Structure 1
Amino acid sequence: MIVYIDMDDVLCNFTEAANQDLKLNPAIQFPQSQYGFYTKLRPLPGAINAVNALLDSDKYTPYILTAPSVKNPLCYTEKRIWVEQHLGFEMVNRLIISPNKSLLKGQYLIDDNHTGRCQSEFEGKLLHFGTSLYPDWASIRKYLDV
């Protein structure tokens, strides 16, 4: 079964980094537009172990499905660097960057948003990360049994 995993605020802590940048420089309208923003993001607790468990599973084939930031054209490269640094080269080959998440076919989409990037039109099941049903990676792993 194919599992797509969003990056920002699912694998890595986008909000924390954006808030820190805004505190340091309130004049920055879009922190994610700054050079190096995506490469400095910290992984969320349990995210790396969960992806590795999915990779080791005979049941699932995980991919990273992330939307590009139109505020930072370097995000394509920076997100790819982040994936290699934190998840290894195997996941680089499983990185998909698309503004429309409904274009891909699979069984699961793990995403912190249910709209904005056509998540609601995804044909599989949306596991809405950060909600009461799926608040963290432990709950996702329990649901997927990995």
Structure 2
Amino acid sequence: MKPILYIAMDDVLVDVASGLNFVAKEVVEKYAGRVAEIPGLFGKMDAVPEAVSAFRQLAERYDTYVVSTAPWDNPTAWSDKVSWVSCHLGDATRDRLVLTPTMSLLRGDILITATATDFTGEVITLGSAATPDWAAVLQRLIAD
């Protein structure tokens, strides 16, 4: 049985800030301080460099899921995240997206995330000193 691996979307697979490049300045100003509520924002974001390739490599060795939260006050965020996963990761992720308000609900072995979390398994923080980028994550998780 393969270990269960969760990979977070925000700033792990998805470059959250990149979505603002596709939104009109007036809309960004209207939602100042609450940009996560901009309708359609989550479907416009670019992938983090090397994230899609890393996901595919990890999916060969782990029982891999994409995990994310979505702002309650942005109903399009949920469907935007499904669309993003489908577009960037393809059919391999069908039924592999978990949307949850808290990581503590997840049961699994490893979570790759960019932020602090209450996940009970091993947490790998992308962007930390130990795993500053996807190459370091792959080195840690894929031992040949």
Q: TM-score, normalised by structure 2?
A: 0.87
RMSD, aligned CA: 1.8
Residue 38 of structure 1: aligned partner: 42
Paired residue type of 1:135:
P
**Displacement of 1:62:** 0.7
Pick the aligned partner of 1:72 from 71, 74, 79. Answer: 74
- Give unpaired runs (5+ residues) of structure 1: none
SS in 1 for 2:39: coil
- Give unpaired runs (5+ residues) of structure 2: none
- 1:113 maps to 2:110: no
1:92-139 CA distance string (max 9 Å, x none): 31000001111111111111011xxxx23x221110111111111111
Residue 6 of structure 2: aligned partner: 4
Percent identity over the alignment?
Answer: 30
2: CA distance between counterparts of 1:49 and 1:88? 12
Does structure 2 conserve the Cα–Cα contact (< 8 Å) formed by 1:22 and 1:28? no
SS in 2 for 1:70: coil
Aligned positions of 1:1-146 closer than 5 A: 1-18=3-20, 20=21, 24-25=25-26, 26-29=29-32, 30-57=34-61, 60-114=62-116, 119-120=117-118, 122-145=119-142
Poorly superposed stretches of 4+, deviation over 4 Å: none
Larger mean Cα displacement after TM superposition, 31-40 or 100-109: 31-40
Q: TM-score, normalised by structure 1?
A: 0.86
Distance 1:88 1:23, change over 3 A: closer
2: CA distance between counterparts of 1:130 and 1:70? 27
1: CA distance between counterparts of 2:115 and 2:65? 17
Q: How many residue pairs align between the two structures?
A: 138
1: CA distance between counterparts of 2:23 and 2:84? 21
1: CA distance between counterparts of 2:109 and 2:48? 23
Paired residue type of 1:42:
D
